[in-house]
Structure 1
Amino acid sequence: MDHLTKLEEMLDRANMDIKNGKYEEASNTLEEIINIDPNFGKAYNHLGYLHEVKFKEYDKGETLYKLCLEKTPMYPSVYYNYAVLLSTIGKWEELKELLDQSLNVPGIAKATIYNEYGIMYEQQGELDKAIEYYKKAGLNTLDKNVLERAKGSIERCKSKKDLF
C-alpha cells in the first residue's frame, strides 16, 4: 500500500468516527495523519470541522481551515466548511474573498457557494443582493431540495423587505 492510499484510508476511518460521534478518536487519527504527512491538507479540513462544529473552538477551526487551503487549495470541502465558520463569526470581508476564490475551484458546487453569498448578504441586511444570489443558487442546481431552499430564502428576504 502506498503512502497516499494509507493516509486516505486513515481519513476515511476518521470520517466514520465523526459520523459515529467518536470525536476524540477522529481527532487522534487526524493528528496522526498530520504527523505522518504535514502536507496532507484534507486532514486539516476535517480537524478544523471538528474544532468548529463539535468543540466550538472557532479560532482553532479557522487556523486549521487556513492550513488546509495553504496545503490543498483545490479541495472543495474546505471552502464550504470555512465559509460556514466565517459566516458564523461574522467575518464578512474574509468570507467574500473566500467565496470569490472558491468559484475557480474545479468540482465546487456553485449552487452551494451562491447560497453562502445569499446568507452573507442577508445577514448584513443587503436583501436585494441576497435575493440575487439565492436566485443564482436556484438556477445552478439540478437538486429539487436545493431549488426549494433557494425559493424559501428568496421569500424570507422579500418578507423582511416588507418590514421596512
Structure 2
Amino acid sequence: MDHLTKLEELLNQANTDIKNGAYDEATNKLEKIIDMDPNFGKAYNHLGYLYEVKFREFEKGETLYKLCLEKTPLYPPVYYNYAVLLSTLGKYDELKDLLDTALNIPGITKSTIYNEYGIMLEQQGKLDEAIEHYKKCALDTLDKGVLERAKGSIDRCKMKKEFL
C-alpha cells in the first residue's frame, strides 16, 4: 500500500470513529496521520472539527482549519466547517473573506455557501441582504430539504423585519 493510500485509509478509519462517537480514537489516528505527513491537509480539517464541535476548544479548532486551508486549499469540507466556526465566534470579516474564496473552489456546494452568507448577514441584522443570499441558496440547489430550509430562513427574516 502506498503512502497516500495508507493516509486516506487512516482518515476513513478516523471518520468512522467520529461517526461512532469514539473521539479520542479518532484524534489519535488524525495525529498519527499528521506525524506521518505534516502536509496532509484533510487531517487538520477533521481534527479542527473535533476540537470545535466535540471538545469545544474553538481557538485550537480555528488554528487547525487554518492549517488545512494552508496545506489543502482546494478541499471543500474545510470551508463549510470553518465557516460555521467563524459564524459561531462572530468573526464576520474573516467569514466574508472565507466565503468569497469558497465560491471559487472546484466542487464546492454553492447553495451551502450562499446559506452561510445568509446566516452571517441575518446575524448582523442585514435582513434584506440575507434574504437575497437565501434566495441564491434556493435557486442553486436541487435538494428539496435545502430548498425548504431556504424558504424558512427567508420567512424568518421577513418576520424579523416586522419588528424594525
Instruction: Output the TM-score relative to the length of structure 2.
Output: 1.00
Distance 2:124 2:146 in 1: 22
Structure 1 residue 37: deviation in Å? 0.1
Does residue 63 (structure 1) correspond to residue 75 (structure 2)? The answer is no
Aligned to 2:153: 153
Structure 1 counterpart of 2:121, one-letter code: Y
* SS in structure 1 at match of 2:138: helix
Instruction: Output the TM-score relative to the length of structure 1.
Output: 1.00
State the number of aligned residues. Answer: 164
Aligned to 2:81: 81
Does residue 13 (structure 1) correspond to residue 13 (structure 2)? The answer is yes
Distance 1:22 1:68 in 2: 22
RMSD of aligned alpha carbons: 0.2
CA deviation map 1:72-126 (0-9, x unaligned): 0000000000000000000000000000000010000000000000000000000
The list of structure 1 runs, each at least 4 consecutive aligned residues, that deviate by more than 2 angstroms after superposition, is none
* SS in structure 2 at match of 1:56: coil
Structure 2 counterpart of 1:6, one-letter code: K
Question: Percent identity between the aligned chains?
Answer: 76
Aligned to 2:53: 53
Structure 1 residues not aligned, in runs of 5+? none
Distance 2:129 2:63 in 1: 29
Distance 2:23 2:138 in 1: 34
Structure 1 residue 134: deviation in Å? 0.2
Structure 1 residue 48: deviation in Å? 0.1
Structure 2 residues not aligned, in runs of 5+? none
Taking the TM superposition and a 5 Å limit, the aligned residue runs for 1:137-148 are: 137-148=137-148
Distance 1:58 1:125 in 2: 24
Aligned to 1:109: 109
Distance 2:107 2:15 in 1: 20
Does residue 135 (structure 1) correspond to residue 135 (structure 2)? The answer is yes
Structure 1 counterpart of 2:89, one-letter code: I
Aligned to 1:37: 37
Distance 1:62 1:160 in 2: 31
